[in-house]
Chain A
């Protein structure tokens, strides 16, 4: 049998150029982390109204009369924070869904979670609803419920007793559910008046103007929970990306990995959509850009995509806030304008 690796002082010849995963991971996380941090620090300082950081942080001015501080802390900081969290969640759940479905063109919205969330939100916006659940106001609460219903339906269809998930059934059920929920959304909108339809349409465009820190704090437990599950998945996702059967023969519990991948990515997507609406293209553009830069190892792609997703969405929102200032565009329009052509280019390139 092949000898024990520990007897080797070092690796020579061709593999000498192979940088160990540890170094690659540390380097990638540092670079993408710095980029994300820089974006999140600079973005709140820029906007349609110029503000002075010194005035905003001046302790001698009372907050009530300090306009700069109000703009910074009430208008911009929650928005940037929401952008970072939503971007990170959508990008990383995109990576996880792509690995789960063994399809690099999958998005966080492929399996119908966002359509369910949107239907929930539409129902409350149009039929009216006043029931707040915990930290969630009615619209995000209904959107979370809708996402949960959609995820449960898809999961139940694809998951038979005592066997691995069928990714084909998962994909077909998701695509069908997407179309079905979209039809229901149109039906609900048909019944509504103009003002309600306007609100509903604005919600569907995706918007990071979340209106304070409270909704972010509400989403945080879900996002942190899914991030914890994401942290243990990557090496299993790597093996399943090669071949599910051989992953199983190498010690991966394929059924459990599929189950946790589905649950965590659905959770992250639901929370992100409940917070900011269905912001498209982040979950597909960011993972692909990251793979072009750092390769396809999920242990590197997942954290790098989370960090770059935060950067990407905060930057897109900066464009949305400033391009037509003082008019603010919904960020979903910006991500779609950047993401649409990129996605098509990708299809042509990989096809």
Chain B
């Protein structure tokens, strides 16, 4: 893959297999994936359940270490960076967050400052100001003192995104960020992510099952099946009826929706 001057992240021949206990064989979750992510781009990872999207995100975040291959951020090997240093560059937004304790929204957002603090250092006024901006950017400032568990799904997800923003990352990895939200909150979070990507110069990689969401937000798509990369390219070229069939074994109607301004995918039937 040609390395553009503006490439931020390069995954090179990444492989990973989860260790299994007992006699179960360890099956590779990701095998030999190479992928370049341009700075400031919005990349979608598409593929069926269990195809390795989440594993790939964890490898890109440095939460898992690859069995083979490497992830580099602007030339620096992720695995060689201390955990805290890596976390200053890459942040993760999971699908769901279920805290075990009743933290306030502000406390959750301030925890995004953790990689920027030394051990045992308490956050100061500067950190509070950054938390303030993150809450403002996600429209959750008025929720700052509310218990996180008392918030609606959409509010929670926006607070978690604010927490990731407080980390001041260059790269935001999103694992199906709208999957547990209803239609209105899906659009709300999608609009927020689009705006953050445009206005804050954050590179985004998002794993999703929602092809219409991907079509509306991502400028490039990576297609993954059985832990392997089937293709990677601009959304308008990659998202076709053919690739949908390849990925999901589903016949779909893919067409440009003039009013929405992006491709739309309507599943029609299971491919025979």
Contact = CB atoms under 8 A, between A and B. Distances in A.
B124 A242 contact: no
A5 B87 contact: no
B155 interface: no
B126 A160 contact: no
Interface string A233-276: 00100110111011011111100000000000000000000000
In the complex, which of the residues B91, B97, B124, B125 has the most CB atoms of chain A within 10 Å of its own CB atom?
B125
Nearest to A236: B114
B100 A245 contact: no
In the complex, which of the residues B91, B129, B165, B173 has the most CB atoms of chain A within 10 Å of its own CB atom?
B129
A325 to B, nearest CB: 41
Given A5-B127, A299-B122, A249 B106 contact: no
A104 interface: yes
A18 to B, nearest CB: 6
Number of contact residues on A: which range applies? 35 or more
Contacts of A18: 106, 128, 144-145
A102 B99 CA distance: 8
Contact of B61 (A162, A241, A249, A297): A249
Interface in A1-42: 1-6, 8, 10-15, 17-18, 20-22, 25
B27 interface: no
Contacts of A3: 133
B56 interface: no
B167 interface: yes
A201 interface: no
A245 B126 contact: no
Given A243-B97, A251-B87, A2 B122 contact: no
B83 interface: yes
A103 interface: yes
A6 B129 CA distance: 8
A245 B94 contact: yes
Given A2-B134, A241-B99, A20 B111 contact: no
Nearest to A248: B63
Contacts, number: 149
Given A241-B101, A250-B111, A11 B142 contact: no
Interface residues of B, number: 63
Contact of B19 (A163, A241, A249): A163
Contacts of A103: 100
B134 A20 contact: no
B32 interface: no
B99 A242 contact: yes
Nearest to A239: B111
B63 A245 contact: yes
B106 A239 contact: no
A171 interface: no
Nearest to A238: B111
B103 interface: yes
Nearest to B98: A243
A296 interface: yes
Nearest to B82: A251
A63 B144 CA distance: 61
A10 B125 CA distance: 7
Interface string A287-302: 0000100011101000
Contacts of B173: 249
A166 to B, nearest CB: 10
Given A2-B133, A15-B128, A163-B19, A249 B92 contact: yes
Contacts of B92: 245-246, 249
Contacts of B94: 243, 245-246
A232 B119 contact: yes
A231 B103 contact: no
B202 A252 contact: no
Contacts of A11: 125, 128-129, 132
Contacts of A102: 100
A349 B167 CA distance: 35
A242 B200 contact: no
A100 B108 CA distance: 18
A17 B132 CA distance: 12
A73 to B, nearest CB: 37
Interface in B83-141: 83-88, 90-92, 94, 97-104, 106-108, 111-112, 114-115, 117, 119-120, 122-135, 137, 141
Nearest to A15: B132
B114 A252 contact: yes
Given A3-B133, A5-B125, A239-B114, 15 more contacts: A1-B168, A2-B165, A2-B166, A2-B168, A5-B126, A11-B129, A15-B135, A20-B128, A22-B124, A163-B19, A239-B111, A242-B111, A243-B99, A250-B115, A250-B167
Interface of A: 1-6, 8, 10-15, 17-18, 20-22, 25, 99, 102-104, 160, 162-163, 231-232, 235, 238-239, 241-243, 245-246, 248-253, 291, 295-297, 299
